[in-house]
Structure 1
Amino acid sequence: MNGVIDYKGYEQPHYQVESVDAGAEIRQYGSHLVAEVAMRGDRSTAITRGFRVLARYIFGGNAQSRKIEMTVPVSQLPEGSDGWVVRFMMPAGMSAGTLPVPNDSRIRFVTVPPSRQAVRRFSGWPTSNLLQRQSGELAQWIDARGLTIREGPFYYFYDSPMTLPWQRRNEVAFRLGEG
């Protein structure tokens, strides 16, 4: 899996599409490095706060005052019963050792291992109700095909908040297990 897929000029994690069926894809993702922060509270508050922490870091809020290229998607995944993890992928070729040290100690670097994911793309404002409906429909799609959910849901957001709802690319994903 060499190369990087591009979305509107922004780097994103590389993946290969295994299959497409009824509006969902099975994708094989390669390993990639993320900067992440855990936030408590409801989903909407957590993504807003987490995005701000990570944006400050990539826009120079680090020990070297160095800017880092923006990538997509911004990812969000549940953590426990009242928390969320917000992630920014780091540009290819960077490692935890070459990235500037964050000024905010809540930021951690994690290498996301390769994974096989079921993914469903949709547009609109990513409200909690819409995300819950989309993740429920994808979970049913997975179950109907005899696949096993290992982890998720993950939510992927590709566009700026200024993008009109019908032009937004959002995705819900589940990491699939064996058998």
Structure 2
Amino acid sequence: MYNVTCKADTYEARHYGSSTWVTTKVKSCSMDYACYIAFKRLYKYICGENEAGKTIEMTAPVVVKVGEEKWFWEEQEYEMSFLLPRDCQANPPKPTNDEVFIERMPAFDVYVRSYGGWMFSMSDSHQNGELMYDLMKNRAPFIPDCHFGVGYNSPNVMLDRHNEVWVIAEGKPVCYGP
């Protein structure tokens, strides 16, 4: 699904090929609340709430697009996506919920910082800040107006969880200092 293009001490750069995702958007003052609502919508889709009535295998990762940080009382739009399994990549069943849609993502390059524990707004924001600091220190070109919180584990997994923060690389990824 991806190739590592370079590694630094605290992050790596990856190239992802184009792929198909099922996505929903939620406006909220809280990333944690938005993720709860979005996950329920997408989970219903893979459990058969689609025109084919087809149950679709849950895959990883689950990706949450987070825009620029706002004040805690300001609403912001969060976008959650489930990667569709290989058998649904070319022709996924159409969602029956009009708040859920199929999205074809073009190929992209990201800087990735991995961390354990749970992906909550506080941990996501902290890890994103650390990644952006390291990218600026290495003069790595990136798009600063959004990032992605990425989870790999089922909510039933309590220990040894794996999460990531992704920042879109601008141009060729850089993993070394000036």
Relative to the length of structure 1, the TM-score reads 0.85
2:89, 2:130 → 1: CA distance?
Answer: 36
SS of the residue aligned with 1:88? strand
Contact preservation (8 Å) 2:31, 2:120: no
1:122 aligns with 2:115: yes
1:109 aligns with 2:97: no
Q: Which residue of 21, 39, 63 corresponds with 1:51?
A: 39
Measure the CA separation in 2 of the matches of 1:25 and 1:84: 25
Equivalent position of 1:10 in the other structure:
none
**What are the residue-to-residue correspondences of 1:79-94 with 2, within 5 Å?**
79=67, 82-94=76-88
Shift of 1:93: 4.7
**Partner secondary structure for residue 98 of structure 2:** coil
**Letter aligned with residue 155 of structure 2:** P
| Alignment check: 8 A CA contact 1:79 1:85 kept | no
Deviation (angstroms), 1:31 = 0.7
Matched residues in 2 for 1:161 and 1:102: separation? 23
Q: What is the total number of aligned residue pairs between the two structures? A: 164
Displacement of 1:92: 2.4
1:144 Cα deviation after fit:
1.3
Residue equivalent to 2:4: 17
1:30-179 to 2 correspondence within 5 Å?
30-41=17-28, 42-79=30-67, 82-95=76-89, 98-150=91-143, 152-165=146-159, 167-178=160-171
Kindly state the Cα deviation for residue 124 of structure 1 after the two structures are TM-superposed: 0.9
Q: Tell whether the 8 Å contact from 1:39 to 1:46 is kept in structure 2 after alignment.
A: yes
Q: Which runs of 4+ in 1 moved over 6 A?
A: none
- Alignment CA distance shift 1:93-1:104 (3 Å): same
Displacement after TM superposition at 1:79 (Å): 4.7
Shift of 1:50: 0.6
Uncovered stretches (5+) of structure 1, i.e. residues with no partner: 1-13
Alpha-carbon distance in structure 2 between the residues aligned to 1:131 and 1:95: 28
How far apart are 1:141 and its partner, in Å? 1.1
Q: What letter is aligned with 2:169?
A: L
Q: Is the 8 A contact 2:25 2:77 kept in 1?
A: yes
TM-score by length of 2: 0.86
Identity %: 26
State the structure with bigger RCO (CA 8 A, min sep 6), 1 or 2: 2
Are the counterparts in 1 of residues 10 and 134 from structure 2 also a CA contact under 8 Å?
no
CA deviation vs aligned residue, 1:123-156 (integer Å, no higher than 9, x gap): 0122211111100000011111111212631011
Deviation of 1:160 after TM superposition, in Å, equals 1.3
Read off the aligned partner of 2:96 and give its amino acid letter.
N
Counterpart AA for 2:116: S
